[in-house]
Amino acid sequence: MLDTSRDRRNFLGYFASIGLGSTLLPGVLWARVMDGAEITAQTIAAAEEIAGVHFTEEQRAAMVKDLKDQRAQIDQLHAVHLENVVPPAVQFSPVLPGMRIDTAPKKLVASRVTAGAAPANLEELAFRPVTELAALVRARKVSSLALTQMYLARLKKYDPILQCVVTLTEERALAQAKAMDAELARGKYRGPLHGIPWGAKDLLAVKGYPTTWGTPPFKSQSFDYDATVVKRLDAAGAVLVAKLSLGELAMGDVWFGGTTKNPWKTDQGSSGSSAGPASATAAGLVGFSIGSETLGSISSPSTRCGTTGLRPTFGRVPKTGAMALSWSMDKLGPICRSVEDCALVLDAIRGPDGEDLSVHDASFGFDARQPLSTIRVGYFQSAFDLPEKNEKGENQHPTKPFDDAALAVLRDKLGVKLNPVSIPEAAYNAARLVLDVEAAAAFDELTRSGRDAEMTRQTPDAWPTSFRESRFIPGVDYVNANRLRTQIMQQWAKLFETVDVIVTPTFGGAQLVATNLTGNPAVIVPNGFRENGTPVSITFLGKIFGEAALCRVAMAYQQATGWQLKHPNLA
């Protein structure tokens, strides 16, 4: 181990002497040095500091031949082109041994919504939830074509301000809308999404249109197929009007077209990475949208933009045709204007497709009329009790007044008995290595080709840097991070033995990291507004495949508060 500043200088100087300098990346920690550099006992010794191990001279000498062979294996691996859609041969499942999955067919029971009169100015419908739009379409008081044209006009009008649109799918949308109106005229109704315009995060493949993943290296990319989610929404009668922005390769709100804006405060980014879906939904540019989350990408922009986001259980919705960032953590889910809208969309896109082998055939029996008394609700007491400011006067729980008010509504207005529970203690940050390694693997060729230098963001916290750094994580530690993840899943499964739903500050404690690792579902709903007019949120967490109870509680809270009815004014 090199443990002095002089040793460190000698270590770096050695790599410079063999022509590597600070360009050791990319490489595999033990065996991989840049092409042409000889693997010797000395190079192994130099690598030990990064690996955090120490070997004797005899041990190093014994390793040289096998490490040369290992480098040949890796060279052979690098010669194979692996498309982003190719998953690893191992599959993650949030279902632990002994955990029962309900697979019985269940019917979704929605609220009864009566169609009112259509407004003279169709733009008055721009912020209406899907439930109301669906009632108008079904009653043929508003045509799908009229809705589609209205939303397309708003997309064109406000995108220069919000920078949320990558590609309009206008031709496809108009054809779909006309077809849905024709079907309805013949008496065929596909369900509550029939004729409803929606937007897709631009990591979903749509045949005939670019799928850019938000970054210059893939700006001209297209696929000759539709993602499963797109196919299912087509089958449900929904009308795709736009492919919406994402922070490049699903990080943040910066993409090759600029920074997607928060409609409530347009000098502020919309957060990410489902930046466009949240911004467009909040601004009334689509009826609903589809986003994705690996580590906060539905939660964060839904909070920033005041939308309602549903991050389903991992393995609930097929990811076929979606960009892979982390095969064991990526989730696709709806971003809408109400919880019930999210439930309707989830019902249309859930279930196995025969291609994404991580998806389970689990029931979803959402019932908008289920009594809250039948659902056990907990809350993370320590997260709510954390003072607004610490001893130094620094913000540590800036949303505390809003969070405390949410508990009061649940207790006093809805009569919910809240059970205090604790966030399990675990090394959550260590388990995040899983995401780092899988993301680097998903974009291995991008890094090795040097085309990562074409990406818009080149800061220390951006993907190009992370992809390079992650090549130094030993395979042994990646496997052990997954073993730690299993322990975390066991802890959270035990926690949910006593409750069905947990309410928590959205960014309180480690819940966001933890539940993205365990695969538990979440609903994020608007929960008030700061003095500057920007929204805050509260989050409800559910059991594995427990979205029905989760949505019911979140829906009741939303109906009791009405925050979702407010919308930004972009005029």
Report, as residue numbers or ranges, the catalytic residues.
201, 273, 297
Strands 165-168 and 377-380 come out as unpaired
Q: Which residues contact 103 (CB under 8 A, 6 or more apart)?
A: 361, 362, 363
In this structure, the number of other CB atoms found within 10 A of the CB of residue 397 comes to 19
**Number of separate helices (H) and strands (E) present in the chain:** 19, 15
DSSP letter for each residue of 515-563: HHHHT--EEEEEEEE-TTS-EEEEEEEE-TT-HHHHHHHHHHHHHHH-G
Task: Classify residue 121 by its DSSP letter.
Answer: S
- Of the candidates 299, 329, 201, the one whose C-alpha atom is nearest the C-alpha of residue 523 is 299
Bridge pairing between strands 197-201 and 254-255: unpaired
The span from the CA of 353 to the CA of 141, in Å, is 35
Which residues, 6+ apart, have CB-to-CB distance to 315 below 8 Å? 93, 94, 95, 358, 359, 360, 362, 519
CB-count exposure of residue 49 (10 Å: 0-12, 13-18, 19+): middle
Q: What is the DSSP letter of 451?
A: G
Amino acid identity of 571? Answer: A
H helices of 139-212, in order, are 144-162, 170-185
Give dist(CA 25, CA 158) in Å, integer.
Answer: 43
Q: Which amino acid is at 152?
A: L
Type and span of the H or E element at 5: helix 5-17
Establish whether the linkage from the previous residue to 105 is cis, with ω within 30° of 0: no
CA 151 to each of CA 74, 136, 256, 337: distance values in angstroms, whole numbers, following the listed order: 50, 16, 24, 15
Question: Cβ distance 299 to 522 under 8 Å?
Answer: yes
Strand partners, 538: 505, 525
Residues 482, 438 contacting (CB under 8 angstroms): no
Q: What is the DSSP string of 147-161?
A: HHHHHHHHHHHHHHH
Q: How many other CB atoms are found less than 10 A from the CB of residue 207?
A: 15
Distance CA 207, CA 175 (A): 15
Distance CA 25, CA 124 (A): 55
32 in Cβ contact with 74 (< 8 Å): yes
CB 434 within 8 Å of CB 328: yes
The residue among 351, 252, 332 whose CA lies nearest residue 292 is 332
Output the six-digit token pair for 514.
């933890």
